[in-house]
Amino acid sequence: MSVAAAATEQTWVYALRLGDDALVLAQRLGEWSASAPELEEDMALSNIALDLLGQARTLLTRAGELEGAGRDEDALAYLRNEREFLNVLLVEQDNGDFAQTIVRQLLFSAYQHELYGALRASTDPVLAGVAGKAVKEVAYHRDHALTWTLRLGDGTDESRARMQRALERLWPYAGELFEADALTDRLAADGVAVDPAALRPAWEAFVLDALARATLTLPQDDWHPTGGRAGRHEEALGLLLAELQHVHRSHPGATW
């Protein structure tokens, strides 16, 4: 395989990873439609989901183009099985209660904000273009999560307890966001991707400040689950994909 072909192969997988992150979290947030605690939040979470879906569509389209196997965004979204999805484990976690959704959103949107900020300098024009638009979107996502983190964490005894439980449950999944492998090392060296470890200091500064202001206690366990980038997922993703893919798989080739 030529150097150019190898770079293309790695870039399509990288785009697929980021697209899967956005697609899976969009589906999770969409589950709140008509079920959020208040009408304004119903609209806010739906809009965040739509932003993420827009990111996913562009990234999956780019992945399909670079793969060169004739798969478009729909094929990649609806016709892959669980082991073929490369999203991080954090985004597939159940919504739980509203506190758990907010903690998940805080951890992930703070990561995405740093990621897309850095990816604006990518040598891949599509990745750079997605990042230029998405960084503005995720700045809102992050601020929205921060507002609710402060409101619930420094709120009633019940709201704080729920936020602390959510943090204890989800904090271990944050470690996977910053794992590097041979693929990201190569693409970061070529200017296509970003070294995820380089994003951690700014992410930690934001998240730890938010947790302190919200009077939440940082979990001390350094253990974290991993495997999402290699297609090793928890049961939650299989259930999510069953709902996401049901109509498309039940009516192949149908158009509306």
The domain of 164 spans 3-217+229-250
Question: 20-55 pLDDT, tens per residue?
Answer: 999 999 999 999 988 878 888 889 999 999 999 999
Which tokens belong to 140? 């809102």
CA distance 166 to 247: 32
Question: 120-149 pLDDT, tens per residue?
Answer: 999 999 999 999 999 999 999 999 999 999
What is the total count of domains within the chain? 1
Q: Is residue 256 part of a domain?
A: no
Q: Is residue 125 part of a domain?
A: yes
Side-chain-side CA neighbours of 41 within 13 Å: the count stands at: 15
- The CATH number for 201's domain is 1.20.1260.10
Q: Is residue 30 part of a domain?
A: yes
Non-local (6+) Cβ contacts of 30 within 8 A are 46, 49
Which tokens belong to 42? 């119903």
Q: Of 221, 244, 222, 248, give the one whose Cα is nearest residue 29.
A: 244
CA distance 256 to 49: 22
CA distance 167 to 77: 29
Which tokens belong to 206? 């934001």
Question: 199-248 pLDDT, tens per residue?
Answer: 999 999 999 999 999 999 999 888 899 999 999 999 999 999 999 999 99
Side-chain-side CA neighbours of 79 within 13 Å: the count stands at: 12
Residue 50 is predicted with a pLDDT of: 97
Q: Is residue 14 part of a domain?
A: yes
